[in-house]
A and B are shown apart, each in its own frame.
Chain A
Amino acid sequence: MNYRNKFFGIASLSIVALALLLVSFSLAQEVQEVQLEVKSDIIVIVNIDNPVSHLSIVDLKRIFKGKRKVWDSGPIVTLWLPSPGSESMQTLLSKVFDYEDEDDLNKFYLIAIFQQKFSDIPMSVKSDRDAVKEIALDKGGIALVDASKVSSFDGVKIIRVDGLSSSGF
């Protein structure tokens, strides 16, 4: 056998083996990183037919506190509150209401009922994905969701609000 050919054959196979080894180690590392670091990305979603294109934190406060109940395009605003305990709920509490816990939010809406600003406590969703499904069917709907937990935004429009996302959008 030609020793030079054998040498190159063995060397090539060794290089390929080394490359595959390095790729597998880096993938394992990436899997670990995915497990440890998932940053939330809180966004606002409205129905895709809602012409609104921009909302500020002030607008969100007015909407969720009942000062703005009708969209400029006509539909009644329907609030969909985030799932209790979720990142979206924490963002709603801290950035929109300046509250520390969900009981304060519940009390706010109870008091608003007695003042005839709301007729009932707004509905809440079980998950960010459910929020997308509900808003897609609700012309006047608005919700806060964590974009990192949603794979499809069919039927909704995404509105990024300065200061809302923890990822620093």
Chain B
Amino acid sequence: MVAFAPLGFADDGERISQLEREVAELKRIVNRLVDENQELKTTVAEVSEGAGTSAGAFSSVKSAFSTPKLSIHGFGHIQYDYSQADNSDATSSDTNAFKNGGVDLVITSQISDKISFLNETLFEFGEDGANILDVERVLLKYAVNDRFNIAAGRGHTALGYWNQQFHHGTWLQTTADRPIIYRFEDDGGILPVHYVGLEFSGNIENDGGTLAYVANIANGRGTIVDEVQLIEDDNDSKMFSLMLSYEPESIEGFGFGVNVLHDIIPSKLGTTNRGAEIDELIYGGHLYYTASPYEVIVEVQVIDHYNHATNLDDTVFGGYVQLAYQVDDYKPYFRFDWLSIADRDPFFAGSVPDETSYTTGLRYELTSYAALKFEYRYVDTDEAKKNELTIQSSFVF
């Protein structure tokens, strides 16, 4: 007031006029500030939204969803293997080679709100360098609701944690090599990791956690270990399998479960002790904790074979314990594998040896979608003791 209306104006009228002008000016200032305040409130709410499109990896466009939406991704890996073996016949051998792991294409499509399609095709190389095309998964899935989905085609059997979590892409798994018990059928594996038939799956929630189930009705095994019956069934019986996993909400990343499978393996006439069918019962359990930075996976599988040709029972069992710990881009890991084949098992004996291995390695994230793995394995089989080294680059695209 003193600044605007100093005392001592000789003309009071002039002073009043001055004051009136100043009041009018102040009113204009106040009105302008009120307008700016309102504008700023709106602008502050909008300013970060007007920052433009982010160049992230996410799609930012909504499709009209009038046609099936196709998505293609894939895996690949290239590795260098070195192996030094002390054989049971007192000889030793030494090999090293670069290996092209091939390309694993995964095609998915949402055909409608409830129907989806998945195809996984592997382009790889045989031992003689010949190109091999393997259609590993072809699944058409109908999602009735969260508790019940039905799929038909070829997929991964409801058989334990690793078989459901990790498919053919090595980038998905921490280690360079799969556990012994989960080797693929054409790689000396003992489990029927692929099925051709139907899959039923779903999640059942309660306040404590989520129970997930997967079940199969499928063609079952062929007459030999590496045969997956794709277009016919050598016997009329079907394979049935069921896997249950429970994840409690109270411990994020923890889960456990069990699996059971029954099949009847066809007879193989002309082969000793294979003149009749074999009843196969597989059962196992798994436990995992995968909340970063920890990775703990433990699995055990037991295979019972009842041979109708000899009326004898034989048991095969195997499993693994895998531990890993993430530190920034580095993930050291260790795994212990074991496999014990009954000497007279009618299906595996002579084709699959007992095996124990100790694996240790380091996974380094080159980028978010490419990893480098350095792995050492000590392998003890009936035939040899081996020291193996693998350097693998695995990636997803």
Contacts and interface: CB of A to CB of B under 8 A. Distances in A.
B60 A124 contact: yes
Contact of A102 (B4, B56, B71): B56
Contacts of A151: 42, 45
B83 to A, nearest CB: 30
B110 A84 contact: no
B69 A120 contact: yes
Interface residues of B, number: 72
B61 interface: yes
A35 interface: yes
Contact of B60 (A113, A123, A149): A123
Given A6-B12, A31-B36, A34-B44, A120 B210 contact: no
B141 A116 contact: yes
A119 B71 CA distance: 7
B318 to A, nearest CB: 24
A110 interface: yes
A129 B164 contact: no
Given A58-B249, A113-B71, A124-B58, A24 B33 contact: yes
B37 A123 contact: no
- The range of chain A's interface size is 35 or more
Contacts, number: 165
A148 interface: yes
Interface string B72-110: 010000000000000000000000000000000010111
Contacts of A129: 46, 49
Contacts of A58: 249
Contact of A123 (B33, B59, B113, B139): B59
B106 A114 contact: yes
A120 B146 contact: no
Given A18-B1, A113-B73, A28 B252 contact: no
A134 to B, nearest CB: 6
A114 B109 contact: no
B34 A27 contact: yes
Interface string A4-17: 00100110011011
A14 B368 contact: no
A27 to B, nearest CB: 4
A48 interface: no
B203 A67 contact: yes
Contact of B118 (A9, A116, A150): A116
Contacts of A111: 172
A24 B29 contact: yes
Contacts of A52: none
Contacts of B1: 14, 17-18
A34 B40 contact: yes
B62 A17 contact: no
B58 A149 contact: no
B44 A113 contact: no
B58 A70 contact: no
B5 A14 contact: yes
Interface string A74-105: 00100001011110000000000010001100
Interface of A: 1, 6, 9-10, 13-14, 16-18, 20-21, 23-24, 27-28, 30-31, 34-35, 38, 58, 62, 67-70, 76, 81, 83-86, 98, 102-103, 106-107, 110-111, 113-116, 119-130, 134, 148-151
* Interface pairs A-B: 5 shortest CB-CB: A127-B49, A84-B56, A20-B26, A124-B58, A84-B54
Given A20-B27, A113-B71, A116-B118, 10 more contacts: A67-B210, A76-B143, A106-B57, A114-B167, A116-B141, A119-B108, A120-B59, A121-B71, A122-B58, A125-B60
